[in-house]
Every structure is written in C-alpha cells, then in structure tokens.
Amino acid sequence: MDNNQKYNIIFAAFAILGILIFHEIWAQQRSITAVPYSDLERLLREGKITELTIRENVITGVLREPDAQGRTVVVANRVEPQLAEHLLQYGVPFTRVHESRFLVTVLSWVVPALIFVGIWLFIFRKFSEKQGMGGGFMNIGKSKAKIYVEHQTGVSFADVAGVDESKAELQEIIDFLRAPDDYGKLGARMPKGVLLVGPPGTGKTLLARAVAGEASVPFFSISGSEFVEMFVGVGAARVRDLFDQARKTAPAIIFIDELDALGRARTAAGFGGNDEREQTLNQLLVELDGFDSSSGLVLLAATNRPEVLDPALLRAGRFDRQVLVDRPDKIGRIAILKVHMKKIEMATDVDPSQVADLTTGFSGADLANLVNEAALLATRRQGSAVGMQDFTLAIERIIAGLEKKNRLLNPKEREIVAYHETGHALAALALPGSDPVYKISIIPRGIGALGYTLQRPTEDRFLMTREELEYKIAVLLGGRAAEKLIFNHLSTGAADDIARATDIARSMVTRYGMDPDIGFVVYEDNQERFLGQQGPSGFNGCKISDSTARQIDASVRKIVDDTFAMIYTLLENNREVLERCARLLLEKETLLEKELLELTADMKRQENYPAEPGR
C-alpha cells in the first residue's frame, strides 16, 4: 500500500467518524423536546409517562403513547432537590444516571481537531506531489527510482529486434550479473557504466529493461530530470539514496533515462538551478568513482544527445562503454515488424519484406506505431484481418499526413497537381538508379500537400555518388519541369521540392567537395549532428571571403539549373507519356506501380547521364 492510499484511508476514517457524531447529535435533537417542569408533573398525574430517567440537571420521561406533536420522549429541567421523595407518591418507576463528562469533552474537542489535521495532511500531500516534492519534506531527498524484478519488467531479448549488435554488446553485462565471480577470474573487470546512444524511438529504454529481464536482477529506473528540483541539494541527495538502495540489493542495474537532462556539460559559472544541476552531476561522478564494479552493480544510461554530455562523465572509469542503438536496416525492420505483427490478426497477403521496403529510415517506435495504425484502419473498415492495403494506407498517413477529403480543388488546380506528380514519377522511372515509384496520388494530405509520389527503395543506401545526388535533384525538380512544359507557367506547389533540391546542391559544393571549380575544400560546418539532427544553417565557424561565397552560390545555382534543363528535356521527349499518365491520374486520382509501368512501357529513358565539361 503506497502513501497515497494510506492518506486516503485515514481521511475517510475521520470523515466517517465525524458523520456518525453529527448523526447522533442530530437524532437526539430531533427526538427529544424540552418541556416545562409543570407539564412533566401534569403528564405524571395523568399516567402518560411509563419511565423516568433522572440526570444531574434534567429529567427525561418516556411517554406511554406519542402525543399530538408526535413526541415519544419529554425532557424537563430538574427543579426540586428532594425530587425522589416527591416522585414516590405517583408509583412510577424512575432511575438516576451518573455520567462522566470527560469522554464528551474529549470527543467534542479532540475529534474535530483530528479531522482538521487529517484534512490538512491530505491537502498538503496532494500539493507536494503536484509540486514534485516527493511526498513531503521528510521524503524530499529520497530517490524516485522505480524498482522492478524479473517478472515485473516482462521484457527479454526476444522482445527486442533489429539491434543485434547492441544486444551482443550487452550480453557481457548479463553474463557478469549472473555470475560475477566466474566472469572476473582472468582479472578483467566489467565496465562501470554503459551508455546507450541513439535517435529517439530506437529502443534504448526497452533494451535496458530487457537486460534486467535476462539477468533476473532488480532494475532501478529513473529519468535524469527527476533528480533536479527547486530545492538546493535535493538532486545530490537523491543520487546518494539511489546508489545506497542499489548497493543493498546488488547485483542490480541502475538505469538513468534521458541522461542529457542531468549530465549536460558544465559551464564556467553556474547560478540558481544551473548550479543545482552541476551539484547533482558532481555527486553522480563521485558515486561512479566510489563503487566497485565487482560488487555486481551496473549503471546503464540512455541519451539521444551525446554531444552535450560533460566530458568528465564519458571518460574511462565512468561510462566505459558506449553502445550505438541506431535506426534498423531492412533486415532489422523485418525482424521488428514480425515481433509486432504477432500481436495482431494478419492477412495472407502481408509481406514484412515489402513493408520494410516502404519504411526506410523508420525507427522501432515508428514501426510499432505503423502496425498499430494498420490494425486501426482494418478495424475501421470492419475487416477480419489486417491486409497489405491497410499497411500502405498507414504508411501514407504517417509520411504524407491524413487525407483531406473535404479539401476540394478546382479543376485547374487538380490538373496542375496531376501533371506535377506525374512529372516526379516519370523522372524517377526514367533516370537510372532511382528508387522505383510505388504510388502517386492527387488526394490532398496533411497541412499543405496537394498530392504525393511514394517511392520504394530497393535497398538501404549509406553512400551516394555525385551522379546519384543529381538524380535526386532531378526527381525533385520533375514536378516543376512538368508544369513549365505543359502550362508554360510556374506555381507555388514546388516550393518544398526546390528547397530540398537546393540543400542537396549546396551540400555537394560546400561539404562533399564535388564541384571541380571550388575544389576539395569544406566551406560549411557539418550541419548534421551525431544522431541525424539538423543544426542551424549557414557558414558558422568557417571563414570564407566574399568572392568565395559568390562562387559557391554560382556553383549551387549551376547544378540546379543544369539538372532542371536535363529533366525538362527528358520530359519534353516523353510528353505523350506524360499527358497519358496525367489524364488517367485525373480520372482515378491514384496510380499504383503496376499501372505506371504499363503506361510508361514506351518511355524514352536516360541511359547515361551526360558529362559536363571539366567534370
């Protein structure tokens, strides 16, 4: 039973006691009516009273029958000192009660006070929880770590797919926790800390819980942000308390999620909350130096921002090992999909490999969400199983956004969008090495997408040549080229395509050294962070002259202009195919890969990319 339940029970008990006291007083006041003493004597003479109870100050008489007012008991003040002798002449039995006022006094003063104290404690407890004070001032320095044992985590390596290399790295941790004495017989020691590094959604937290489940040891889980509070010294106290708890239950695993919230690099001067965070980090460093890895205590941590961590935290002897948990490749995506597909009713036409082809760049969390979205779509259409169509629609919803069926385009806009999307598709089909087109549609989706072209990569790519990058630019510019060829005007629909094409061209010149006139020199900071996060654009930290900047701009423009001219010529040579596909797209609103291949069977394709002079 946790503290919240205890406080609730105590408050409920006090409330029930107060209600009972109130009810008793109210009942007595309702059934007893005070009368003059003369009326009491009159009732006695008339024989209407069957029994008397004499107290110190009052006399209570029980009526033989209820009177006209419905009274069954009458009370009168006692006025004669020798009342007993006077009452004997009536022959009515009577008694006298000697009662103590001590209990009444205690109940009337102490019980209400206890009720108010209970209410105050209950309110203060709730307020403390909302303010993050850990259940009151007495527990403010206690660790908030959640403790799990093997059957409570419910996660093993069988539940984690697509990160085989990471699991192999952590297998040593499991072997050590199972048999720490045998593992160190050659003099080796286990790493004190293991840092799981990877983009969001790749399964770092799940992997840590799987390690605890495999090793069958207690698992202390806490977020980095839960250490730092508004009170100075609380974070350091919680770090000490966490490690004290873990030492008592060793062998055990301490897992700190979102380590960057706690271990951010320290600055020259800290004030206020920043100083409190640095004190907490210092205490964590001390604890890492203080415990012996042979005791069976292992510290796991996860972050998706390793570049902001303090160098002292990552040095040897603290977090000795860094394990990369990256986005899965195709084989990993297939394995992850199979894990999640076991939980739903699948149709026979679903091929995990085909779904993996359409989900390049998806993380494990993205794939889990994809399977759930597909199941929801199948439920919505009242299907008996989740089919491949549901997965395709779920992928389109995640990538392009929700269908906007109420967004009606006028006939002219629909025609422009149809030729635009067909231009993308024909450019991808005509250029060698481009990803195959899986589907094109002119159904509006998301916030601003009036249509979309969905390509299906045949394999994961980790290296690209200049020609392949130019092909990507050509596919992006295919929509603008088709608009200019058919309508001889330009629209705003290609704004995002042009921005992406320009970024690729600028990276080719300033980062990849692919322009012969500029040379093999980097003129731009690496904007891509360790985990694929984009930083600010510009030439930050790179000193270049104005003439070099103008030359870079000219080279970027030349790449984009030459690529646009090439794809425009290619579409012009296939204008009949372009119009044929666009007309059918206007009619059906969606074209699949099989239909596109049939429509473009006679299309003139680009076999070799023409080499530019001087390349």
Mean pLDDT of 280-304: 79
Res. 30 pLDDT band, cuts 50 70 90:
very low
pTM over 0.85: no
Q: What angle do CA 256, 170, 372 make, to 5 degrees?
A: 70
| Same-domain status, 378 and 429 | no
Residue 608 lies in a domain: no
Res. 241 pLDDT band, cuts 50 70 90:
confident
In tens, the pLDDT along 142-162 reads: 555 555 554 466 777 888 888
pLDDT at residue number 609: 47
pLDDT at residue number 135: 45
Indicate which CATH number applies to the domain containing 377. Answer: 1.10.8.60
In tens, the pLDDT along 476-493 reads: 999 999 999 999 988 888
**What ranges in 291-345 are assigned the alpha helix state H?**
311-314, 330-341
Q: Which of 289, 324, 359 is the last residue of a domain?
A: 324
State the amino acid at position 219 in one-letter form.
F
d(CA 17, CA 30): 20
Strand partners, 256: 222, 301
d(CA 352, CA 338): 7
DSSP state string for 236-272: HHHHHHHHHHHHHT-SEEEEEESGGGTSBPP-SS--T
Q: What angle do CA 161, 166, 167 make, to 5 degrees?
A: 65
Pick from 476, 504, 479: nearest CA to 490? 479
| Same-domain status, 435 and 559 | yes
Q: Which of 324, 358, 383 is the last residue of a domain?
A: 324
pLDDT at residue number 594: 87
| Same-domain status, 314 and 343 | no
Grouping H, G, I as helix, E, B as strand and the rest as coil, residue 217 is coil
Indicate which CATH number applies to the domain containing 284. Answer: 3.40.50.300
Residue listed under structure tokens 């080229």: 481
| Same-domain status, 425 and 493 | yes
Residue 128 lies in a domain: no
How much is the mean pLDDT over the chain? 77
| Same-domain status, 275 and 366 | no
pLDDT at residue number 308: 85
Please give the distance of CA 506 from its chain centroid, rounded to a whole number.
35
d(CA 496, CA 449): 10
Residue 131 lies in a domain: no
Active site residue 598: no
Pick from 484, 469, 477, 432: nearest CA to 453? 477
Look up residue 607 and give its two tokens.
């076999």
In tens, the pLDDT along 166-207 reads: 888 888 778 777 776 676 676 767 777 889 998 888 888 888
pLDDT at residue number 573: 92
In tens, the pLDDT along 325-343 reads: 888 888 889 999 998 998 8
Exposure pattern of 438-465 as b/e (b: 16+ CB <10 Å)? bbbbbbbbeeebbbbbbbbbeebeeeee
d(CA 568, CA 342): 48
Angle between helices 411-430 and 466-487 (to 10 degrees): 150
CB atoms within 10 A of CB 428: 21
Share of the chain above pLDDT 90, in %: 17
Residue 136 lies in a domain: no
Residue listed under structure tokens 């209970």: 118
Residue 174 lies in a domain: yes
d(CA 177, CA 153): 16
Residue span of the structural domain in which 367 resides: 330-400
* Lowest-pLDDT choice from 49-63, 369-383, 593-607: 49-63
| Same-domain status, 424 and 558 | yes
Cis omega (within 30 of 0) on the bond before 251? yes
pLDDT at residue number 162: 83
Cβ partners under 8 Å of residue 524, min gap 6 = 506, 507, 510, 511, 538, 539, 542
Instruction: List the catalytic residue out of 229, 421, 470, 483.
Output: 421
| Same-domain status, 222 and 257 | yes
* Lowest-pLDDT choice from 345-354, 448-457, 533-542, 548-557: 533-542
For β-strands 297-303 and 193-197, DSSP reports them as parallel
Give the number of domains in the chain: 4
d(CA 274, CA 440): 51
Pick from 396, 404, 406, 354: nearest CA to 373? 396
State the amino acid at position 259 in one-letter form.
L
CB atoms within 10 A of CB 352: 17
If residue 603 lies in a helix (H) or strand (E), which one and from where to where? Answer: none
CB 65 within 8 A of CB 101: no
Cβ partners under 8 Å of residue 162, min gap 6 = 203, 328, 331, 332, 333, 335, 336, 364
d(CA 285, CA 294): 18
Better-predicted residue by pLDDT, 494 or 88:
494
- 3-class SS string, 455-502: ECCCCCCCCCCHHHHHHHHHHHHHHHHHHHHHHCCCCHHHHHHHHHHH
Q: Which of 102, 134, 159 is the last residue of a domain?
A: 102
| Same-domain status, 509 and 478 | yes
Residue 253 lies in a domain: yes
d(CA 91, CA 208): 90
| Same-domain status, 86 and 163 | no
Look up residue 509 and give its two tokens.
């010149």
In tens, the pLDDT along 365-394 reads: 899 999 999 999 999 988 889 998 899 888
Res. 357 pLDDT band, cuts 50 70 90:
confident
| Same-domain status, 188 and 163 | yes
Pick from 252, 323, 312: nearest CA to 283? 312
Residue 132 lies in a domain: no
Q: Phi/psi of residue 128, each to 5°?
A: -65, -40
Look up residue 134 and give its two tokens.
């850990």
* Lowest-pLDDT choice from 88-92, 110-114, 196-200, 386-390: 88-92
The answer on pLDDT for 263 being more than 90 is: no
Highest mean pLDDT among 5-9, 70-74, 241-245: 241-245
Indicate which CATH number applies to the domain containing 461. Answer: 1.20.58.760
* Lowest-pLDDT choice from 82-91, 372-381, 490-499: 82-91
| Same-domain status, 241 and 227 | yes
| Same-domain status, 443 and 489 | yes
Res. 31 pLDDT band, cuts 50 70 90:
very low
pLDDT at residue number 486: 93
Pick from 435, 541, 450, 465: nearest CA to 496? 450
Share of the chain above pLDDT 70, in %: 70
CB 250 within 8 A of CB 296: yes
Mean pLDDT of 110-132: 63
Residue listed under structure tokens 């339940």: 5
Residue 459 lies in a domain: yes
3-state helix, strand, coil in the chain (%, to 5): 50, 10, 35
